Structure 1
Amino acid sequence: MVLSGCAIIVRGQPRGGPPPERQINLSNIRTGALARRAPQSQPDQKDTPDEPYAFQAREFLRKMLIGKEVCFTVEVKTALGREYGMVYLGRDTTGENIAESLVNEGLATVRREGIRGNNPDQARLCDLEDQAKASKKGMWTEGGGTNTIRDLKYIIENPRNFVDSMHQKPVNAVIEHVRDGSVVRALLLPDYYLVTVMLSGVKCPTFKREADGTESPEPFAAEAKFFTESRLLQRDVQIILESCPNQVILGTVLHPNGNITELLLKEGFARCVDWSMAVYTQGAEKLRAGEKSAKERKVRIWKDYVAPTANMDQKDRQFVAKVMQVVNADAVVVKLNSGEYKTIHLSSIRPPRIEGEKNKDKDKRFRPIYDIPYMFEAREFMRKKIIGKKVNVTVDYIRAATSSSETSTIPAFAERTCATVTIGGINIAEALVSKGFATVIRYRQDDDQRSSHYDELLAAEARAIKNGKGLHSKKEVPIHRVADISGETQKAKQFLPFLQRAGRSEAVVEYVFSGSRLKLYMPKETCLITFLLAGIECPRGSRNMPGGMQVAEPFSDEAMAFTKELVLQREVEVEVESMDKAGNFIGWLHIEGVNLSVALVENALSKVHFTAERSSYYKTLVSGEEASRLRKDKIWANYEEKKVEEVVHVMEEKERTANYRAVYVTEITDTMHFYTQDVETGTQLENLMETMRAEIAAQPPVEGSYAARRGDYCIANFSADGEWYARYQLSKIQSLLKPVSLSTSLPPQREIVPSTRLAVIPPAFSTRTLAAQATEYTFAYIQVPQDEDARADVVDSLVRDIQNTQCLLNVEHSGVTCPHVTLQFADSKDDVGLSLVKEGMVMVDVRKEKHLQKMVTEYLNGQESAKTARLNIWRYGDFRDDDADEFGYKLKK
């Protein structure tokens, strides 16, 4: 360094670290003093300006000596340790004498006091000074050199405007001081601004000032400072002023030999800084590449560095997988080539979230995917982009499991595999952030567990903020009002006719409960429904039952995995045919021309159910099942085919069985199902009720102690006779009144009662201990009217004719929810269902089983007589059977 025109600092050759420094003052000459800033602790003092030609003398030496080898001799050493001598350019004293050169250029004066006549060096200086005077060089020119005094500016009033005015163009400068490896003091030319510049995008180890005023260097701080000093101190450079956050000027220093910022990173003297990398104009990827190189070589500050994926095999760090499910806006489930499923979290991004409990609607069940703003849009973006497709996965880090507290052993977050997921060269995380559907996580500077494309994520977020997209938009957030009618029987009933008439409807599979049970989102109707696949009988999985855990049937897990892989979160088409008593819709599901029911049967993961006989898919189902049986695959592995002779014999012998028994009809539902009790067990049931009432009388329920909840079974005290009846199921809660629906079958069957007249069932009579005393049935050979008014007329007729009366019952065939039966009046032996057909109140349900054809024919004859007489539903015209499926609807029209 050149301190002034007559003082320099030299260093020896570095060996194992920064070498010692030594200040040499030139003997026998004097140059002007450079400007000095007044101490900030003494505001009454003023800044000292340059003396004439002081800066020119300094510049003369700087350009001549900086970075060059010199030879020096020490002539005098003062008591304070200051050394005076002669300096020569080069390795020995034969080189150019620096003092003589200064004097010759008129930039220094000779100290003539105490001249010794026998000192040739000092005599030569005097001769050179006389020659300079004669030639009027330097300070000996006329005018005194006032024009050589700099207008040095120590303070910039508005640094931000000053930086913006530079338009990020290179500015000529001289580095005057190096504070540490990444902070320098620069003199900007030609206007002589003295500014402190922090290198954009990096940070070197620093010198910490202790309380006693001493400085303690961080590891490699001195080495980093020497690295920058030895290359930049008092060198001519160009500086790109890039930003000015919080009065700190950020910039990039460019030397003809290279960019010091990138060199510091490559040599392990600096680390990348996220907050300032965004303004680095030379390309942030170059900085990351330099840092990565230093980490891989484990040099300097990275000597103990261990990569987040260092312990992983290459095949585990980078692989191709198929996306099976989008868990939420930052995680996916993928299927590896080995068949294993793995959850992958997108590195360094955070999905939309709701701040605090105050924004949650406590009156309804909180559903994150629909209730958190932009969560649905984020999930849909990912679903449409990557579901069912192969993606490239590069694991960035493994986030260890964390506990909810220091004393808790329960993890708040399980271990997470965080990776960059790309498809077709597109980074999914970056695409999410750029659309405003996710934000970028900010890390501590020493946290290396982050995305390998972290800077691109930050840039994408900056663009989203600038353009006001998604989470950064100032518009009102989108609201998704999605009705969940799963298990809502009444809502499902209202929705059923619409879906039946719609034919094929678009849907998205939200969840797969089992191989044949799914939850669907209907976009046009904005509702969620539970959907059961028609025509098949799929193995059941394990589930909790009143009597304990039900064991899973063989291949139930395989069936569910098959369905998940084929349709989960895919766009499908559904045909709704009917619904069960729990409000679940039953029908056919198609995806890209594949019928899921058929696919399950063909893959030996399901059997054909007899209800498929009336379907147009029946032949395909049977054909697929036959092929699976022949392969003896999966559920057919232990199947033994009967001989043809035995099958023919059984078919010939099978006939309709007429085994009527006496029953008591206790209730008829709105869907034309009815409940009965066997007349033979009537006495036993009365005794059972008496026993229960006696136990209740001995230990009467405490009024108001029972908390009514919908779906619970309880006992109820009815106003008609003041007696306790069991068991009842709560069907609706209306403020303080609780309508209940009878589960067992002693009248009265239904009544609205106050909650104070409900109580817990005694343990001996609970649903787990005692089976239901009433059985549910529905009519065989007749169709339930779809129109509510037509169906209500039929129900009213049945209530009038058979409720609370004794009838004769015969089971004709099994059904999806309950057996299908025929009823006869006890006195006349007339068929109740056939009577409804003959009166024109219902249509015939044509069964195809051979042993039932006699009954079907009798019912069809009754229907023809009703048509001829134009009774009830047939009174408005000639209907063909295939036109009259929705006769209730046609009647209304």
Structure 2
Amino acid sequence: MAAAATQGRWLRGRVKAVPSGDTLVIMGMAKADIPPEKMVTLASVIAPRLARRDGVDEPFAWESREFLRKLCIGKEVTFLSHASPPTQSGMQREFATVLLGGSTAQNVSKLVVAQGWAKVKEQKSESKEDVAELLRLEEQAKEQGLGKWSKVPGASDAAIRNLPPSAIGGYSGFDAFDFATRNKGRSIQAIVEQVRDGSAIRVYLLPEFQFVQVFVAGVQSPSMGRRAVSENIAQVDGSSDKPNGASKAEPHGQPTSAQKVASGPTTVEVAPDPFGREAKHFTELRTLHRDVRFLPETGDRFNNLTGSIYYDDAGEVKNLALELAKNGLAKYVEWSGKMLEEKDKRELKAAELEAKKNRMRMWTNYVPPVTNSKPIHDQNFTGKVVEVVSGDCIIVADDAVPSGSQLAERRVNLSSIRCPKMGNPRTGEGRENYAREAKEFLRQKLIGRQVNVCMEYSRKIPVGDNTNPGAVTADSKVIDFGSVFLPPQAKGEGVVSSVPSTTGGQPAGSNVAEMLVVRGYADAVKHRDFEERSSYYDALLAAESKAIANRKGKHSSSEPPAYHIQDLTTASAKKTKDFLPFLQRSRRMPAVVDYVLSGHRFKLVIPKETCSIAFSLSGVRCPGRGEPYSEEAIALMRRRILQRDVEIEVETVDRNGTFLGSLWESRTNMGAVLLQAGLAKFQASFGADRIADSHLLAQAEESAKRQKLKIWENYVEGQEVANGSAVAESRKKEVLKVVVTEVLGGGKFYVQTVGDKMVASIQQQLASLDIGEAPVLGSFNPKKGDLVLAQFSADNSWNRAMIVNVPRGGIAQSQKDEFEVFYIDYGNQELLPYSRLRPVPPSVHSAPGSAQLCSLAFLKVPSLEEDYGQEAAEYFSELTLSSSPEFNAVIEERDTSGGKAKGQGTGTVLLVSLVNEGTSSNISAAMLTAGLARLEKRRRWDTKERKAAFDELEEFQQEAKTSRSGMWQYGDIQSDDEDSAPSTRKPAGKR
């Protein structure tokens, strides 16, 4: 508002600041982020001057300013500007008549003079009547001894403030560290004299009048830049020529050279950051020349203080940092935020996140960072901890899911923490320090205990060679994260979560993640913005700070405790036999069940003897893997004894190095538990006299027989059935109707299930796609493991494929650069140029590949590099691909040693017998008859069923030998180790 434009008419405004006893800063009433403002001096009066820099107040200067400040600050006024001549320095001050209040408006000049806080100074622009009234009021104040006219002896000297050396100027006499330490947590009264930017202010600390710069803890507002000046920047009082400050700190609270007090002139000018002015104006409106409460947290070596500022807003106390963050005028900063209480930190982070989501002010153009996590809602459950996988991962049996269901056990990774890795001996990855201690701590605290689980988010984790975390590939897996709580009634469980009750669906009790972190067994994960995290993340950060301060666990300077366990499960049979006397020294010894290998066979750790052993229950045998009820037996043992403290009694060791004996958990014989549930058979031939509690085992089996439980469901009393044979013979094999899509050689091939609706749907969607031009280089950069659309070179059809290898350099430099792709729905593989690749549509992205890798059961087929390998592959292709016949694939076995599918020739393999549905011809028999395959005898005698299949196929192999077909052209080929077992058939010509 220019002076010439406003003279002669009354204006309305609100008092924003009161620099002295006769000066006001009035801002307009316009609805704008930053309304116009002007500084006016009360007409016809002059108040005592406040000290400038390191000067001295005039008597009663502070009291005069305080009277006017309390009278006018934040209130609406009406004012009329008067013309005034320039001063000798050329500056033109604007004088005004200011009226306070509504219909009963009062002249502010008269109020000040009447209380004796200013004297009258006659000006030409004032009417004689107004001056006369002011003079009358002045005389009245003098007579009454009011304000500066006090008649009390020594009052004038006493009304001069004794100002200490300024902290801003860097003078001695004030130690910010010492001050913050002595007053930490104490609320100190202060008056804000200047606002440097939204989160940096200069205050008088009362009653000592120490003038200090304060950084608002936990937040940083946009900078106000740096002005072009020709003198030192630092100011030391509230009447500076540059009340807004001139220095810039980057980052907030880390002083620049300007904050250290410039030792000479500077001419550098930096414009304010976006929304810097708005943030400064926001803080001025609420704190400038107002009473606030300051809670110091710390100081720095430049004598700046950091702490919280609280101000009054219509009777409500508000936190300046929180209000700035809510309104998008400041961001949370960790360096000072960590000093605050957990509740305050949590509120600040939540306010910043909400401002980002709403894109308020400084977050207008905010783009959330890419994250591969997503929240999980409505998946809270209770259950019993079945297994501790590692220090930050457990398996919980969901109470709401039947125990026989595949979803009965849920893997839960603890949210927002990371424990040391357990390592993997198979890959050569070593165990990190305190990994065992973290896992053991969880085992002792949680195993078999009822817990409350709050699922919070899931994250896509790349594995293998996949480096693109955002791609949904066969190499990616989704991991679920949640917070786990022990019930509140549990005593002595360590740290109690900050959640006091179960209100809002959040369980109370001991937060397991917090228990780990506070003991130094885990670190809190440093999350990125917008990344999902634990609902109790602030408590985890506080626990981590406590662990670091107390040097707990991995934060300790000492070496972790040594842990040496001799693994006898991989040792030779002789070594295990040598160890037997040590395990028989005491009848019963404590052990920990490390793994359930089958219903009756386990891996145990024996701490007393510092060894781990393979252990089997004497005289108790459960169905083998793949047989009915075998999984139930394993599930029962997992629930009852996995990772529990048990007692064992070792009787002997077998020729494979497995120790035999009895096992008790809580004084309950686990062999009897299996037998009573109908999940095992008692083998008395083992030597009942040597088996502990043999009478209990026999009684348990008889009970299951009477009730016809599980494996005894078809039991007829008096009819003996060989152990395991009834179960094995009754098993029905799975049969798939398939077509062969690709032959790899070595007896391996890919099939596609006939009539699969998913396959038909994918093919229909791909056929209807409108494939555009080849993408521009750089806009589409497929990486190894990514799923893409690829144009098959044989028929130019578009199919789903996985990138197996990329061009040299990682990305395509031209449209002709070739990528190696694997067609996940057919099993074939080829090299394609970049121009034949497209991004895969979301509609067909997530469906698993349709091609299934198979191998001929019971046969050993030469690989392509071996003799007759090429001939075998070509002959197999003729039998399966020439007329695209349909086959019945009888699944004999599943080989999962290859892991998840990652490309051609890897992944789970189905060992099948392939029978042509039209001609009923057996492909295995045809391969044997042609002398292009031979029987694999290694597991011939596993079961009667397998032996019968071998005997049937051996006739076709014998036919090839007799006719010298294929590989038998020069007689019997040299047998390998697998053929060293004796033949079950007599040689030809012998009786």
Range of TM-score over shorter length: 0.5 to 0.7
Residue in structure 2 matched with residue 766 of structure 1 by the alignment: 976
Greater mean alpha carbon deviation, residues 399-408 or residues 195-204: 399-408
* CA–CA distance in structure 2, aligned partners of residues 200 and 412 of structure 1: 45
The 2-side partners of 1:471 and 1:512 are apart by: 31
Q: Any conservation in 2 of the 1:151–1:192 contact (CA below 8 Å)?
A: yes
Deviation string 1:112-160 (CA, Å, 9 cap, x unpaired) is 35377x5322333344445556666655679876952552513455321
C-alpha distance in 2 between matches for 1:431 and 1:397 = 21
Alignment partner of 1:251 is 2:307: yes
411-420 or 229-238: which moved more? 411-420
- How far the C-alpha of 1:491 sits from its partner, in A, is 2.7
Residue aligning to 1:190 = 207
The answer for the alignment partner of 1:176 in structure 2 is: 193
Letter of the 1:512 counterpart: V
The structure number with the bigger radius of gyration is 1
Matches for 1:794-805 after TM superposition, within 5 Å: none
Q: 2:331 and 2:99 mapped to 1: Cα distance?
A: 40
Contact map agreement 2:338 2:345 (CA 8 A) in 1:
no
Q: Which residue of 1 aligns with 2:461?
A: 401
Deviations 1:233-266 (A, max 9, x none): 2222221212236755222224463142585289
CA shift in 2, pair 1:51/1:217, >3 Å: farther
Deviation at 1:569? 0.6
**2-side partners of 1:411 and 1:74: how far apart?**
77
Q: For residue 418 of structure 1, report the CA deviation from its aligned partner.
A: 2.4
Match of 1:112 among 119, 122, 128: 122
Q: What is the match of residue 452 of structure 2? A: 392
SS at match of 1:510: strand
Q: Is the 8 A contact 1:487 1:582 kept in 2?
A: no
> Does residue 335 in structure 1 map to residue 397 in structure 2?
yes
User: What's the offset of the Cα at 1:346?
Assistant: 1.7
Equivalent-residue separation in structure 2 for 1:328 and 1:300 (angstroms): 40
- Secondary structure of the equivalent of 1:456? helix
% identical equivalent positions: 35
Q: Is the 8 A contact 1:484 1:529 kept in 2?
A: yes
Letter in 1 for 2:274: P
> What is the distance in 2 between the residues matched to 1:179 and 1:111?
34
Work out whether residues 392 and 422 of structure 1, in 8 Å CA contact, stay in contact via their aligned partners in 2: yes
- SS at structure 2 position matched to 1:57: helix
Q: 1:393 to 1:268 in 2, by over 3 A?
A: farther
Question: Residue 100 of structure 1: which of 105, 110, 118 is its match?
Answer: 110
CA contact (8 A) 1:173 1:188 kept: yes
Task: Give unpaired runs (5+ residues) of structure 2.
Answer: 1-16, 227-247, 249-267, 488-508, 723-971, 985-991
Equivalent-residue separation in structure 2 for 1:467 and 1:401 (angstroms): 33
CA distance in 1, matches of 2:202, 2:301: 18
1:587 equivalent in structure 2: 661
Q: How does 1:475-874 map to 2 (within 5 A)?
A: 475-488=558-571, 489-541=573-625, 552-614=626-688, 615-637=691-713, 639=714, 641=716, 764-768=974-978, 770-772=979-981
Aligned match of 2:541: 458
- Cα distance in 1 between the residues matched to 2:216 and 2:29: 27
Contact 2:591-2:606 at 8 Å conserved across structures = yes
Q: Work out the CA distance in 2 between the residues paired with 1:396 and 1:77.
A: 68
For the residue of structure 2 that corresponds to 1:468, the secondary structure is: coil
**Contact 2:621/2:682 (<8 A) preserved:** yes
Secondary structure of 1:772's partner? coil
Selected match of 2:131 from 104, 122, 129: 122
Superposed counterparts of 1:389-468, under 5 Å: 389-402=449-462, 406=467, 414-424=477-487, 425-444=509-528, 446-468=529-551
| Contact 1:202 1:261 (8 Å CA) reproduced | no
Aligned to 2:935: none
- What CA distance in whole angstroms lies between the structure 2 residues aligned with 1:394 and 1:273? 29
Question: Residue 592 and residue 643 in structure 1: after superposition, are their counterparts in 2 closer, same or farther (change >3 A)?
Answer: closer
Instruction: Calculate the TM-score normalised by the size of structure 1.
Output: 0.62
Q: Which deviations, in whole Å up to 9, do the C-alpha atoms of 1:6-64 show, x marking residues without a partner? A: 32122355747554434333223333444444xxxxxxxxx555455443332221111
Give the deviation of 1:332 after TM superposition. Answer: 0.9
How far apart are the structure 1 equivalents of 2:721 and 2:414? 61
Instruction: Identify the match of residue 414 of structure 2 among 316, 327, 346.
Output: 346
Q: How many residues align?
A: 625
Query: Residue 264 of structure 1 corresponds to which residue in structure 2?
Result: 323
Kept after mapping to 1: 8 A contact 2:377/2:455:
no
Instruction: Tell me the secondary structure at the aligned position of residue 598 of structure 1.
Output: helix
Cα 1:312–1:365 shift into 2, 3 Å:
closer
Q: 1:133 to 1:145 in 2, by over 3 A?
A: farther
Partner of 1:653: none
Give the secondary-structure state (helix, strand or coil) at the position aligned to 1:315: coil
In structure 1, the residue matched to 2:292 is 237
Instruction: Give the Cα separation in 2 of the matches to 1:201 and 1:568.
Output: 47
Q: Structure 2: how far apart are the matches of 1:625 and 1:387?
A: 29
2:102 corresponds in structure 1 to: 91
**Are residues 260 and 645 of structure 1, via their aligned partners in 2, closer, same or farther at CA, if it must alter by over 3 Å?**
closer
- The one-letter amino acid paired with 1:68 is K
Where do residues 46-85 of structure 1 align in structure 2 (5 Å cutoff)?
A: 50-76=57-83, 83-85=94-96
Query: Does the Cα contact within 8 Å between 1:177 and 1:233 map onto a contact in 2?
Result: yes
Cα distance in 1, alignment partners of residues 300 and 122 from structure 2? 54
* Aligned counterparts of 1:296 and 1:635: Cα–Cα separation in 2: 60
Sort the Cα spacing of 1:62 and 1:196 in 2 relative to 1 into closer, same or farther, 3 A.
Answer: same
More helix by share: 1
CA distance in 2, matches of 1:519, 1:311: 37
**Counterparts of 2:137 and 2:41, CA distance in 1:** 19
Q: After superposition, what is the alpha-carbon deviation per residue over 1:479-518, rounded to whole angstroms, capped at 9, x for unaligned? A: 1111112132233112112223421211001122222221
* 1:612–1:618 Cα contact (<8 Å) kept: no
Which amino acid in 1 is paired with 2:395? V
Q: Residue type of the partner of 1:122?
A: V
Q: 1:239 to 1:296 in 2, by over 3 A?
A: closer
Aligned to 2:843: none
Cα gap change, 1:215/1:108 in structure 2, threshold over 3 Å: closer, same or farther?
A: same
* 1:21 corresponding residue in structure 2: 37
Q: Secondary structure at the match of 2:613?
A: strand
Rounded to whole Å, the distance in 2 between the matches of 1:440 and 1:263 is 24
| Change over 3 Å in CA distance of 1:242–1:646 after alignment to 2 | closer
Aligned to 1:213: 270
Equivalents in 1 of 2:629, 2:45: separation in Å? 101
Report if the CA contact (8 A) 2:322-2:351 is conserved. Answer: no
SS in 1 for 2:674: helix
Change (3 A) 1:646 1:575: closer
Cα drift, residue 326 of structure 1: 1.0
Q: Do the aligned partners of 2:342 and 2:542 also contact (CA within 8 Å) in 1?
A: no
Q: Which residue of 2 aligns with 1:375?
A: 435
Secondary structure, in 3 states, of the residue corresponding to 2:134? helix
Q: Aligned residue for 1:713? A: none
Deviation string, structure 1 residues 536-591 (Cα, Å, up to 9, x no partner): 222223xxxxxxxxxx3333333222222221111111111111222221122211
User: Alpha carbons of 1:366 and 1:215: their partners in 2 closer, same or farther (altered >3 Å)?
Assistant: same
Shift of 1:765: 2.4
| Structure 1 residues 91 and 204: alpha-carbon distance in aligned structure 2, compared to 1, 3 A threshold | same
